[in-house]
């Protein structure tokens, strides 16, 4: 059965204020619907949190539209506003909406989408891109403030950008020709046709632009939206009242943004992409949820399901739930309720966990592109106001307001932990507001039945090396698999890259004689390979075989095979790593001493390998599910396992800090039938680009 039906359950809430389209040839690129009731331009300090309602999603629910569905989506330039406190601005948007329409599909339902680029060729990037000098001494951090500083440089090349787009269904198990290969761009009046078979577990995916070299600009301009897959396992949990129903489900797409100002220093409502010379990542001072600045939403005094996505270019969020207190019209934050309110995470990027887990003590940590499926029980908080606040420092490397670790302040004194709701201007956290929950009375509110023994998905399996590694859980013991090592480096200095490593037979003398920049890494010998009275540690030498996106394809994976990728972070910050095609699981993390690694040379010093500092440890309980994006922390190796099946072809893995991705922190890999790999000529030296 086929259908061309397009169902829209809800029109966008008026707070989004879509006022007109800028993409029609008939109108020669001019606005044909005038803005109504212009908002006076406020000063930055006049913005008040929680003045706008969380907008109602525009939903394309295709579940009743047949086994095969054809859908057209038009990329448009449109006038929107991010808050009633701000004026109108221009955005690039899917079907003219920011975020784009939320697709809801059944597992196994085939959806053909034509993504039509109809952003007029006369419409350029709809905001300014500025680079500011680094702050000196105690000077304010430029990224904390809106507007372009006098000393800033405007990126004129970015100002001349037209909309060249390609859409990627992030987290989708998608054929290579529909995956949104970064170089397959559609220009004005061109289309990208993609087929999504949705043959995967119920989960919240998202779609966004993935254009080579300009992903950070296109996504920032508004090209993103949710894609939801439902299945029978989830339906049964809802039917049996284990999980809240659709009516008690919120989809929350969280992003940081900056805004431009006019000559008088007043906010125009326009976006602004603003970085510093030594901090290429975009860390905006303001937080949008579903395209709205610091919104509020009403919830009943009963359990609510929250589907959270960090859609930021670079900022990591660490969310905590706090009480909101209003004093003389001003917002203050009271008691931290994160560990008091029943909050269970029930799913990750790739769908439901086997059992609910409580949030880690740190809070709900979400790096760019990570998702979390969470149930919060509001039954005890009738007539209360609660809020999510952000506590994570930026750039993120493990420090938050509540747990600053070894962070120092400007006087080089250790930072003392502070309460959630405390801002830190010196760590690019000038505002902590995210979203307020106004809890309304509900006489029929029933507490959530969830606890840590509630079975969610009976089909879930936890990947393990040895049977019995995870007590009380269904296990899948990894069979024959291939190991790879990938290092995250800042080499040459100022360039963040992947270094794909290949084991070599060498020692220090050989390295010195050949002049090759070799890296020595200590690893722990598996128990099955240890000998009596033998060492449990071995040192292995590696050479770099590829670094840049257009280097020779090095990773050629036999179809339907298992792989373990060991990703070692030799930089100073946390990187969210996204692998296309597969849903993987994190096996373990391991700390390393990287003092022997020379940043500027890309090698380890004699007798100073990158050395283990402790035994492997399990990831946090709420990141032990299926993932497509995961944080790799500084001085740490993360081991992930995946089975590469479903489709053959060329895919990518990359850092999902979009400024890093666009500056070459992205590499291709190919999945090839094993019999084809067996026949390939060894003299090819890899598959040429």
Partner residues linked to 312 by β-bridges? none
CATH number of the structural domain 465-684: 2.60.40.420
- Supply angle C-alpha 433, 439, 444, rounded to 5: 155
Q: Is the pLDDT of residue 541 over 80?
A: yes
Q: Is the pLDDT of residue 6 over 80?
A: no
136-140: long-range contacts (C-beta < 8 A, 24 or more apart)?
138/410, 140/425
Q: pLDDT class for 687, splitting at 50, 70, 90?
A: very low
List C-alpha distances in Å: 627 to 104, 353, 542, 585: 20, 11, 28, 6
H or E, element range at 662: helix 658-662
How many C-alpha atoms does 126 have within 13 Å on its Cβ side? 28
* Interval 224-242 mean pLDDT: 98
- Given the structure tokens 């991705």, which residue do they identify? 661
Distance CA 254, CA 97 (A): 16
503: cis peptide before it, omega within 30°? no
How big is the chain, counted in residues? 689
* Nearest alpha-carbon partner for 566 in 496, 624, 642, 505: 642
Q: Is the pLDDT of residue 207 over 50?
A: yes
H or E, element range at 237: helix 232-239
Helix, strand, or coil (residue 678)? helix
Q: What pLDDT is recorded for position 38?
A: 63
The DSSP code for 663 is T
Which stretches of 26-175 are DSSP H helices? 156-159
Give percent above pLDDT 70 in the chain.
90
Contacts of 494 by beta carbon, 8 Å cutoff, 6+ apart: none
Distance CA 267, CA 259 (A): 7
569-575-579-580 Cα dihedral, nearest 10 degrees: -150
* Interval 581-596 mean pLDDT: 97
545-547-552-557 Cα dihedral, nearest 10 degrees: 70
* Nearest alpha-carbon partner for 644 in 573, 565, 590, 570: 565
β-strand pairing of 343-348 with 462-464: unpaired
Residue 51: exposure state from Cβ atoms within 10 A (0-12, 13-18, ≥19): middle
User: Do residues 58 and 8 lie in contact, with contact meaning Cβ atoms separated by under 8 Å?
Assistant: yes
Q: What are phi and psi of 202, to 5 degrees?
A: -55, 130
Residue 633: exposure state from Cβ atoms within 10 A (0-12, 13-18, ≥19): middle
Q: What pLDDT is recorded for position 27?
A: 35
Q: pLDDT class for 406, splitting at 50, 70, 90?
A: confident
User: Do residues 406 and 635 lie in contact, with contact meaning Cβ atoms separated by under 8 Å?
Assistant: no
Distance CA 13, CA 308 (A): 19
* Interval 37-62 mean pLDDT: 91
Neighbours of 6 (CB within 10 A): 15
Contacts of 185 by beta carbon, 8 Å cutoff, 6+ apart: 164, 165, 166, 211, 212
Q: What pLDDT is recorded for position 511?
A: 58
pLDDT tens digits along 26-49: 333 334 344 545 668 999 999 999
Question: Which residue ranges does the chain devote to CATH 2.60.40.420?
Answer: 2-233, 465-684
Q: What pLDDT is recorded for position 684?
A: 54
Q: Is the pLDDT of residue 251 over 70?
A: yes
Please state which of the ranges 267-276, 334-343, 510-519, 536-545 shows the lowest mean pLDDT.
510-519
Q: Is the pLDDT of residue 1 over 50?
A: no
The DSSP code for 429 is B
Q: What are phi and psi of 679, to 5 degrees?
A: -90, -10
Please state which of the ranges 92-101, 183-192, 294-303, 525-534 shows the lowest mean pLDDT.
525-534
Query: Average pLDDT over the chain, rounded to whole?
Result: 91
Right CATH for 2-233 from 3.40.630.30, 3.40.50.80, 2.60.40.420, 1.10.8.10? 2.60.40.420
| Predicted TM-score of the model (pTM) | 0.94
pLDDT tens digits along 448-502: 999 999 999 999 999 998 899 998 899 999 999 999 999 999 977 778 999 999 9
Distance CA 409, CA 397 (A): 16
Contacts of 438 by beta carbon, 8 Å cutoff, 6+ apart: 296, 297, 298, 299, 385
Q: What pLDDT is recorded for position 516?
A: 65
Cα 60 to the center of its chain, rounded Å: 23
Q: What pLDDT is recorded for position 682?
A: 54
């Amino acid at each position: 059965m086929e259908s061309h039906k397009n169902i829209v359950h809800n029109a966008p809430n008026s707070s989004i204020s879509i006022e007109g389209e800028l993409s029609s040839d008939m109108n020669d690129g001019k606005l044909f619907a005038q803005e109504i009731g212009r908002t006076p331009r406020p000063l930055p300090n006049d913005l008040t949190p929680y003045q706008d309602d969380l907008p109602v999603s525009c939903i394309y629910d295709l579940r009743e539209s047949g086994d095969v569905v054809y859908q057209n989506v038009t990329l448009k330039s449109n006038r929107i506003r991010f808050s009633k406190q701000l004026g109108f601005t221009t955005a690039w948007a899917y079907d003219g909406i920011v975020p784009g329409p939320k697709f809801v599909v059944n597992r196994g339902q085939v959806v053909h989408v034509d993504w039509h680029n109809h952003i007029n060729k006369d419409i350029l990037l709809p905001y300014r891109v500025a680079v500011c000098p680094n702050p000196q001494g105690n000077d304010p951090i430029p990224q904390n403030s809106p507007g372009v500083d006098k000393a800033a440089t405007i990126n004129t090349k970015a100002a001349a950008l037209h909309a060249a787009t390609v859409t990627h269904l992030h987290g989708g198990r998608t054929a290579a020709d529909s995956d949104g290969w970064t170089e397959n761009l559609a220009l004005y009046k061109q289309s990208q046709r993609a087929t999504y078979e949705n043959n995967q577990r119920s989960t919240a995916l998202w779609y966004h632009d993935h254009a080579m070299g300009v992903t950070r600009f296109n996504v920032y301009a508004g090209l993103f939206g949710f894609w939801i897959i439902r299945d029978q396992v989830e339906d049964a949990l809802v039917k049996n009242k284990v999980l809240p129903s659709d009516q008690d489900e919120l989809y929350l797409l969280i992003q940081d943004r900056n805004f431009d100002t006019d000559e008088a220093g007043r906010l125009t409502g326009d976006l602004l992409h603003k970085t510093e010379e030594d901090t290429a990542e975009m860390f905006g001072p303001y937080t949008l949820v579903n395209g709205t600045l610091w919104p509020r939403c009403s919830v009943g005094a009963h359990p609510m399901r929250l589907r959270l996505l960090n859609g930021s270019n670079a900022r990591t969020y660490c969310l905590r739930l706090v009480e909101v207190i209003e004093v003389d019209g001003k917002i203050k934050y009271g008691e931290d309720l994160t560990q008091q309110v029943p909050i269970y995470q029930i799913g990750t990027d790739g769908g439901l966990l086997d059992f609910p887990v409580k949030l880690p003590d740190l809070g709900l940590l979400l790096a760019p592109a990570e998702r979390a499926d969470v149930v919060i029980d509001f039954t005890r908080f009738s007539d209360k106001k609660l809020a999510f606040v952000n506590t994570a420092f930026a750039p993120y490397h493990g420090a938050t307001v509540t747990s600053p670790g070894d962070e120092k302040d400007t006087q080089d004194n250790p930072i003392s932990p502070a309460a959630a709701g405390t801002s830190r201007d010196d760590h690019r956290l000038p505002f902590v507001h995210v979203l307020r929950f106004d809890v309304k009375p509900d006489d029929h509110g029933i507490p959530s039945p969830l606890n840590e023994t509630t079975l969610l998905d009976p089909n879930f399996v936890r990947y393990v090396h040895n049977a019995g590694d995870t007590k009380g859980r269904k296990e899948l013991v990894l069979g024959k698999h291939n190991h790879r090592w990938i290092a995250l480096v800042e080499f040459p200095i100022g360039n963040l890259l992947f270094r794909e490593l290949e084991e070599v037979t060498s020692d220090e003398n050989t390295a010195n004689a050949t002049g090759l920049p070799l890296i020595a890494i200590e690893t722990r010998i598996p128990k099955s390979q240890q000998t009596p009275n033998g060492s449990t540690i071995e040192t292995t030498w590696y050479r770099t075989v590829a670094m840049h996106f257009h280097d020779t394809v090095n990773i050629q994976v036999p179809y339907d095979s298992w792989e373990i990728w060991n990703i070692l972070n030799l930089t100073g910050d946390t990187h969210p790593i996204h692998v296309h095609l597969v849903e993987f699981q994190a096996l373990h993390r391991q700390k390393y001493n990287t003092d022997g690694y020379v940043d500027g040379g890309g090698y380890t010093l004699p007798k100073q390998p990158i050395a283990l500092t402790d035994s492997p440890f399990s990831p946090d309980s709420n990141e032990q599910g299926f993932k497509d994006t995961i944080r790799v922390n500084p001085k740490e190796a993360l081991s992930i396992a995946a089975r590469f099946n479903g489709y053959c072809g060329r895919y990518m893995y990359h850092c999902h800090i979009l400024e890093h991705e666009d500056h070459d922190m992205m590499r291709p890999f190919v999945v090839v039938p094993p019999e084809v790999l067996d026949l390939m000529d060894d003299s090819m030296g890899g598959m040429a680009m």
